[in-house]
Structure 1
Amino acid sequence: MSIIRRAQLGALSAAILLGSVAASFAADVTFQMRNSHPNAVELELYSQDRDHVWPGNNQVYYLDDGETKQIPLACDEGEKICYGAWVSGDKATYWGTGPDNAETCDDCCYTCTGGNTEEIDLTE
């Protein structure tokens, strides 16, 4: 086998190994959100470990009153993610970290380990 061929195989093996290591650090989690408030609610999910927001790009998840939504996220294994929700048109009425991840909360964060959160019920 030529030296060039061995180098190519070595580079390919390294790329495959690095790809599988990177993939092992990725995870998916699904936030299960229910809006029990009588008004529509807007929602964002915020990473506490990096500068990332879901859905991002100045968008929000929108839940009508009574609506339940499954929100799947691709996240980093072990990443802490908190939800912030508020009544549409009334950012003073909020849950979790609220708009722009500006508030602290005791029970609105989850660790990305795969699977689903329990149903998170946004009530009055």
Structure 2
Amino acid sequence: MIRLTLAALLLAAPAHAADMAFFVKNLRQQSVAVELFSRDRETVWPGDGKVFLIQPGSQKSVPISCNPGENICYAAWVNGNDQISAGVGPDNDLPCDNCCFICVEKTTETIDLVP
């Protein structure tokens, strides 16, 4: 009986979140806004209508907490002009071949935003 109770508790426990980071380099001459989107659930980083703002020629480390194995895609656009974008775009609706990463505990992925 105790084993059944323990098994039920383990199955009901939430999955362990993984802490990972994205190192974003803005190689453009304009400031860019960046968001990260989960392709597996309705989650956006930083969320709440905010963006990570990265100045021209600068870089920023963006830590997130995600589910191991989760697909995380980036969207970046020129601040003030979302028609000039990279990744999945500001509405998370553009196709991309190299803008998504798998969430892995204690890893860092690099994103180079080029002109």
Instruction: Calculate the TM-score normalised by the size of structure 2.
Output: 0.87
Deviation at 1:92, TM superposition (A): 0.8
Q: Deviations over 1:80-124 (max 9, x none)?
A: 00000000011111110010212010000000012111x211011
RMSD: 2.2
Secondary structure at the counterpart of residue 91 of structure 2:
helix
Secondary structure at the counterpart of residue 72 of structure 2:
strand
Please list, as runs of the form range in 1=range in 2, the aligned pairs for 1:38-117 lying within 5 A after superposition: 38-114=29-105, 115-117=107-109
Alignment length (residue pairs): 111
Deviation at 1:18, TM superposition (A): 3.3
Q: Which runs of 4+ in 1 moved over 3 A?
A: none
Any unmatched runs of 5+ in structure 2?
none
Identity of aligned residues (%): 42
Any unmatched runs of 5+ in structure 1?
1-9
- Partners of 1:18 and 1:26 in 2: CA distance: 15
Secondary structure at the counterpart of residue 66 of structure 1:
coil
- The higher radius of gyration belongs to 1
Q: Deviations over 1:42-94 (max 9, x none)?
A: 00000000001000000000000011000010000100000000000111111
Secondary structure at the counterpart of residue 113 of structure 1:
coil
Secondary structure at the counterpart of residue 86 of structure 1:
strand
